[in-house]
Amino acid sequence: MPNYALEVQFFNTFILRPDANNKTYIEESRIKGGFNEDFVSIGPKAHLVDENYSETRRGNALIYSGVYNSRTDVNKTNVFNAAENITRAVDPANGSIQKLHAEDTNLNILQEDKVSYALIDKDALFTAEGGQLTASGAKVIGQIVPYLGKYGCQNPESFAVKGMRKYFADKSRGAIIRLSRDGITEISAAGMRDYFKDNLKLANKVVGGYDDSSDEYIVSLQGTNISGTYDTLTYDESVKGWVSFYNYKPDFMFSLNKEFYSLYHNNVWEHYVNNNYNTFYGETVNARITFVANANPSDVKNFSAINYEGSPGWEMTGSNTDYGAYATKVLPSTDDTTGDVVSKFVDKEGKYYSQLMNTNAGVLGQISGVRVSGVKGTTANVTMKHTSTNEVELFSVSHNVTISS
């Protein structure tokens, strides 16, 4: 290769000889090319060459890069030094890691069958008595400590956070879990254990979110095997129970500045933004409530009438008992010649009253199709609905009953 002179218009540089394609390369000799920065001399450089490199997926391990310092412009987020201890692994017997959540100086790790937390920038020391102390250390991810209980998370989309409380679904165990300072609590056991045990396993997708506006955790079980393809429920911490079903199927949910939003078909919807009740994603649905009337449950009774206190316009869509009698409607229409039976309540001094009619013939010798026939049984399951888009209330519901002789 011939020798020739090359004039360089840059300072603090190395000139590397041309390559086979006659290309000349210039490399800075100062860090960041700055004046009076640390100098890099020409000399031997050690390189580790891995001839058998390939992509490796470890579902139970964590890896972290170098640090980023905005004050000194040091950015090592793309540096993964194999000579340093930059990986932490959890027990592979508990499945893959589904969700990571940073909380103060701890890192919550949700595996398929276990929930743990790791110490960040500190490590655990154990005393002779077995007590645990924490101390600052060089490790980015320190000791990994499991929470008590055999619970995990297979649907990370169900994860939601409110303060120190974390919520998620454990599909394998048919449970909804709350993780807080007192450990793991199965909140699905608050009156809904059987429901979640039967329906969580049928869901293809479990979407969760926290509604800061009403202070509730909302979870939506979605799938072709779910009744109506979805069930959306809400858990209220103030009553420690599941308080309602909602008629919307969100793709994602989140709260911002005490306002609640959900995503549906790539659109963002803000909830509680107007006074249109029972309206979700531009469609109107009916409000409904189902309850059990079980006063004196050991006595066989005849439920002859139903009464309620609240807003006008409520309708009863069904009332069945453990004896099998079934009343789908209440008072007949004003035109008895049509034979149609509709839900009508009569306003009597601010309370609403209607007689029950048995529509099943031949049930325990009862007379059917008569306005005052009533429904026989020990307890009654009643379903009521309202079609208004305004705010309505239902204070109480009662029955007129006659103890069977």
Q: By C-alpha distance, which of 292, 310, 307 is closest to 395? A: 310
Domain boundary, last residue among 285, 304, 323: 285
What distance in Å separates the CA atoms of residue 293 and residue 397, rounded to the nearest whole number?
9
List, in sequence order, every residue forming a beta bridge with 109; answer none if it has no partner: 100, 116
Does residue 302 lie in a domain region?
Answer: yes
What distance in Å separates the CA atoms of residue 323 and residue 341, rounded to the nearest whole number?
22
First-to-final CA distance of the chain: 118
What distance in Å separates the CA atoms of residue 54 and residue 48, rounded to the nearest whole number?
15
**Do 274 and 174 sit in the same domain of this protein?**
yes
By the 10 Å C-beta count (0-12 exposed, 13-18 middle, 19+ buried), 162 is classed as middle
Under DSSP, the state recorded for 30 is B
**Do 309 and 397 sit in the same domain of this protein?**
yes
**Do 74 and 168 sit in the same domain of this protein?**
no
Does residue 382 lie in a domain region?
Answer: yes
pLDDT of the chain, 405 residues: tens digit per residue: 555 555 656 555 555 556 667 666 566 667 766 777 777 666 655 556 667 777 788 899 988 888 788 888 888 888 887 777 788 899 999 999 999 999 888 899 999 999 999 888 765 544 444 555 454 455 678 888 899 999 999 999 999 999 999 999 999 999 999 999 889 999 999 999 999 999 999 999 999 999 999 999 999 999 988 878 999 999 999 999 999 999 999 999 999 999 999 999 999 999 999 888 989 998 999 999 988 988 888 888 888 888 999 999 898 887 888 876 555 545 444 434 334 344 578 888 888 988 877 766 555 445 444 455 677 888 888 888 998 999 999 999 988 888 876
Provide the b/e sequence for 52-78 (b: ≥16 CB within 10 Å): eeeeeeeebebeeeeeeeeeeeeeeee
Does residue 28 lie in a domain region?
Answer: yes
Residue type, 329: K
The CA R_g of the chain, rounded to the nearest whole Å, is 34
What distance in Å separates the CA atoms of residue 274 and residue 267, rounded to the nearest whole number?
18
Enumerate residues 6+ apart whose C-beta is below 8 A from 127: 133
Say if residues 170 and 154 touch (Cβ distance below 8 Å). yes
Q: By C-alpha distance, which of 121, 119, 101, 122 is closest to 110? A: 101
Does residue 55 lie in a domain region?
Answer: no
Structural domain of 385:
289-403
Domain boundary, last residue among 113, 146, 179: 146
**Do 251 and 170 sit in the same domain of this protein?**
yes
pLDDT at 251: 96
What distance in Å separates the CA atoms of residue 292 and residue 311, rounded to the nearest whole number?
20
| Number of domains observed in the structure of the chain | 4
Does residue 53 lie in a domain region?
Answer: no
Say if residues 112 and 131 touch (Cβ distance below 8 Å). no
**Do 257 and 176 sit in the same domain of this protein?**
yes
Does residue 394 lie in a domain region?
Answer: yes
**Do 263 and 180 sit in the same domain of this protein?**
yes
**Do 397 and 344 sit in the same domain of this protein?**
yes
CB hemisphere CA count around 153 (13 angstroms): 29
| pTM of the complete model | 0.74
**Do 275 and 371 sit in the same domain of this protein?**
no
**Do 263 and 362 sit in the same domain of this protein?**
no
**Do 340 and 315 sit in the same domain of this protein?**
yes
Domain boundary, last residue among 227, 258, 285: 285
By the 10 Å C-beta count (0-12 exposed, 13-18 middle, 19+ buried), 389 is classed as middle
- Give 35-52 as a DSSP string: TTPPB--S--------TT
The two three-digit tokens of residue 376, written as one number: 């026989």
pLDDT at 5: 58
What distance in Å separates the CA atoms of residue 261 and residue 348, rounded to the nearest whole number?
42
What distance in Å separates the CA atoms of residue 357 and residue 391, rounded to the nearest whole number?
30
Does residue 297 lie in a domain region?
Answer: yes
**Do 243 and 203 sit in the same domain of this protein?**
yes
**Do 337 and 376 sit in the same domain of this protein?**
yes
Does residue 52 lie in a domain region?
Answer: no
